[in-house]
Chain A
Amino acid sequence: MGEVIVVTSGKGGVGKTTSTANMGTGLAAMGYKVALIDTDIGLRNLDVVLGLENRIVFDIVDVVNGNCRLRQALIKDKRFDGLHLLPAAQTKDKTAVTPDQMRDLCAELKNEFDYVIIDCPAGIEQGFRNAIAGAEKAVVVTTPEVSAVRDADRIIGLLEAAELREPKLIINRLRPKMVKQGDMMGIDDIIDILAVDLLGIIPEDEMIVITTNRGEAVVLDQHSRSGQAYRNIVRRILGEEVPIINLDESTGFFKKIKKIIGLG
């Protein structure tokens, strides 16, 4: 029986799709069977990030409407046999799927896959409610900006209300230099407000943009810091204790991080 994880944020553009693609690819690279679900109906792009856009025939709306079987809509990844994508529909809107249908869908995928990872749309409306309906665990992505952290806090409150307790946090696009100069929120400021466990910190890295535009995943890039950061996140999801990469020795924030644990 697999595990269903939703990747959410509240604020748009903070790295949900990037994180979903990299966690999924990373887990598949370690031999796990992974299904990724794009619930951003009308604004799909997980398929583009994975470089699978031209293989889409059926999508999530086709599946819940019974136009095709689930198996027919799942697209196999180019590199890893264990990695599959259930794409969002591009020509419908968020109301084309209901939370009950999502619950059924997740239950079905869970039987076959080790990890089902759901890419949530921005916002707190129906798209968000659909995305979390079938999830058992949640990952919240934020950037070190006051507005993103505020939205992450709002999302954590809504997740808790939906019985998705103890979400894990990814802090994306950290620029250590700016933190040092006091121009960006530091890790400890963020944890202080959100009071959740950290799953990982991803630095601002142009390799993410480069790999994304090629339809590749940075988690497979052995030379970049963001790739390393995503590989560490994958190991934490698998239950390993991996120390957070110390992006900046001089501020010593590493010492201040109290709890670092996996999703286990």
Chain B
Amino acid sequence: MANSYSVSGFGQDMAADLDDLVDEKTILVQRTLRSGQSIYYDGNVVILGDVNPGAEVTAKGNVIVMGSLRGVVHAGAGGDENAVVMAFHLQPTQLRIANHITRPPDNETVEADYPEMARIKGGVVTIEFFQTAGERQGKNI
């Protein structure tokens, strides 16, 4: 993926230097996925709602859930190891990125109440606090 593009609307144009979540193909799902419902898309998927236990989201690209992700999610389903999964509440039954399959530890009950992002780092799926761009740059937002 080419990494040089610009983002506007921040008062000044700035060059993005990250392996950002930008792609041509993205769909916006404006509802909650309930048990038994699923989505497959060969691009990015953004869900404005929850993904409940028993629901499945599969995307060749990234998956972003603007709500609670409690079902099964697969990002980078075509093998893209750079794909990420982001959710306001990331509590998936199972999380897959490319060919990596993970699940939460059996006894874990801690629920983070902040956005988190899962990505492959050094060959393993890691989950980290998702910082907004403003916070990354040390600005107050």
Contact indicator B37/A150 (Cβ below 8 Å): no
Interface-forming stretch among A78-86, A130-138, A151-159, A243-251? A151-159
> What residues on A are CB-neighbors of B62 within 8 Å?
none
* B-contacting residues, A183-240, CB 8 Å: 192-193, 195
- In the bound complex, how far is the Cα of B36 from the Cα of A193, in angstroms? 14
Q: Give the contacts of B49-73 with A (CB-CB under 8 A).
A: 50, 52-54, 68, 70
- Tally of A-B residue pairs with Cβ under 8 A? 29
Judge whether B94 is part of the interface by a CB distance below 8 angstroms.
no
B37 and A157 within 8 A (CB):
yes
Residue of A nearest to B89 (CB): A192
Q: Give the total of A residues in contact with B, Cβ under 8 Å.
A: 12
Q: Contact residue range for chain B?
A: 10 to 19
B36, B50, B70: residue with the most chain A Cβ atoms closer than 10 Å: B36
Check: B34 CB closer than 8 A to any chain A CB: yes
Q: How far is the CA of A252 from the CA of B52 in the complex (A)?
A: 25
> What DSSP secondary structure best describes chain A's contact surface?
helix
| A157 close to B35 (CB less than 8 A) | yes
CB contacts (< 8 Å) of B36 on chain A: these are 153-154, 157-158
Measured CA separation A261–B53 after assembly (Å): 26
Give B70's nearest chain A residue, CB to CB.
A193
Within the complex, the shortest CB–CB distance from A145 to chain B, in Å, comes to 13
In the assembled complex, the Cα of A160 lies from the Cα of B34 at a distance in Å of 10
User: Contact: A154 with B32, CB < 8 Å?
Assistant: no
Instruction: Give, as a whole number of angstroms, the nearest-CB distance from B74 to chain A.
Output: 20
Residue of A nearest to B54 (CB): A150
Residues B35 and A151 in contact, CB atoms below 8 Å apart: yes
Please indicate the chain A residues that have their CB under 8 angstroms from the CB of B37 in the complex: 157
Other A-B pairs, 16, CB within 8 Å; known A150-B35, A150-B54:
A150-B53, A153-B35, A153-B36, A153-B53, A153-B54, A154-B34, A154-B54, A157-B34, A157-B35, A157-B36, A157-B37, A158-B36, A192-B68, A193-B50, A195-B32, A195-B50
* A interface with B by C-beta (< 8 Å): 146, 150-151, 153-154, 156-158, 160, 192-193, 195
Binding site for A on B (CB under 8 A): 32, 34-37, 50, 52-54, 68, 70
